Amino acid sequence: MKAVVYEGPRQVSVKDVPDARIERPTDVLVRITSTNICGSDLHMYEGRTDFEPGRWFGHENLGQVVEVGDGVDKVQVGDYVVLPFNISCGHCKNCERQLTNYCLTAQPEPKLAGAAYGFADMGPWAGGHAELLRVPWGDFNCLRLGEDAEERQSDHVMLADIFPTGYHATEMAGVQPGDETVIYGAGPVGLMAALSATLRGASKVMIVDRHPDRLRLAESIGAIAIDDSKVDPVQAVLEETTGLGADNGCECVGYQAHEPDGQEQANLTMNRLVGSVRFTGRIGNVGVFVPQDPGAGDELAKQGQLAFDYGLCWFKASTSAAAKRRSRSTTGNCAT
């Protein structure tokens, strides 16, 4: 089969690789028909992770089942399925608590938890930027789609990561009906967080970015666009909220946050969120942060550390919940 193989920083090429195949009775084999390029893929593509050359990306996958193992009961050949990017067994200690993004079985490295298709430090699993994908624990990991699956696959493929990740940011931020919510980052995940905040009944959704196309899209779903290349976003949020700050906020940018001139500053969005959210407000963080970032420009960031405004965060009794993106469960893994 063909796959888009990672060869080193900023280098990928389409190559012939061994076909994905059924390896265990619980596997399902999927012919990929839609797959996205994620912001997480770009961190890996740019060489800002330890993703190994020779592997391929692709964790946002949708396709048609072409073969099932003997131990698969529900999923059938011919089904269109979308695959939540977190691979999980469904029966370990964490999966039983719905923390499927921290599955202990799918991650062979004992110091880690959680697995994903074609992802640095998330197990050995191949990605879906290829013609075929092996899906382990197929009955648990395949979400079967309805009759409109083929025709609406570009909508359904959003369920692999982007939409539930955006939704999860609002879950961790505790968005309630009537809330005023701010979102940093108007990429696909930030836009889905804005849409999710609206679905949860937020009365005002503000979104901070500097790309005019993204800001226009944000406005088209009813959010107030704040252009941080033109105004101080913290000040703009305070003005929109009678000086109190937003009830809650979502971080949808991650460790490669940067100023409009391109200067990276990993603590930029977290500190702006602390400034933007009211006393006792909550922050949900789904942007990617990593324990080591050798490609970072400063010493702290190389060690995965931030100069975080902890004093102000403590003083305001803000709560912050962070998690690798997840598709099914709903609670944060660390709270300050």
Nearest to Zn ion by Cβ — which residue? Answer: 38
Q: Which residue has the tokens 């799918």?
A: 106
Hey, what are 149's tokens? 């699956």
Q: Is residue 326 within 8 Å of residue 101, measured between CB atoms? A: yes
Q: Which residue has the tokens 């359904």?
A: 156
Q: Kindly tell me which of 233 and 254 has the beta carbon lying closer to Zn ion.
A: 254
Q: Are strands 80-83 and 61-68 parallel, antiparallel or unpaired?
A: antiparallel
Closest CA to 77 of 116, 39, 22, 129: 22
Closest CB 10 distance from Zn ion, rounded Å: 19
Q: Rounded distance, CA 133 to CA 119, Å?
A: 14
- Report the DSSP beta bridge partners of residue 8: 11
Closest CB 59 distance from Zn ion, rounded Å: 5
Closest CA to 323 of 53, 101, 118, 78: 101
Across 213-225, b (16+ Cβ under 10 Å) vs e yields ebbebbeeeebbb
Q: Kindly tell me which of 80 and 140 has the beta carbon lying closer to Zn ion.
A: 140
Q: Kindly tell me which of 278 and 326 has the beta carbon lying closer to Zn ion.
A: 326
Closest CB 81 distance from Zn ion, rounded Å: 17
Q: Which residue has the tokens 């982007």?
A: 162
Q: Kindly tell me which of 100 and 271 has the beta carbon lying closer to Zn ion.
A: 100
What single DSSP character describes residue 18? P
DSSP letters, 64-77, are: EEEEE-TT--S--T
Q: Is residue 163 within 8 Å of residue 100, measured between CB atoms? A: no
Q: Kindly tell me which of 5 and 87 has the beta carbon lying closer to Zn ion.
A: 87
Hey, what are 95's tokens? 């999966």
Binding site for Zn ion (CB under 5 A): 38, 40, 60, 88-89, 92, 95, 103, 105, 161
Q: Kindly tell me which of 69 and 187 has the beta carbon lying closer to Zn ion.
A: 187
Q: Kindly tell me which of 43 and 278 has the beta carbon lying closer to Zn ion.
A: 43
Closest CB 282 distance from Zn ion, rounded Å: 23
Closest CB 40 distance from Zn ion, rounded Å: 5
Q: Kindly tell me which of 88 and 318 has the beta carbon lying closer to Zn ion.
A: 88
- Report the DSSP beta bridge partners of residue 143: 82
Closest CB 140 distance from Zn ion, rounded Å: 9
Closest CB 68 distance from Zn ion, rounded Å: 20
Closest CB 311 distance from Zn ion, rounded Å: 33
HSE-up of 236 (CA within 13 Å, CB side)?
A: 21
Q: Rounded distance, CA 322 to CA 269, Å?
A: 13
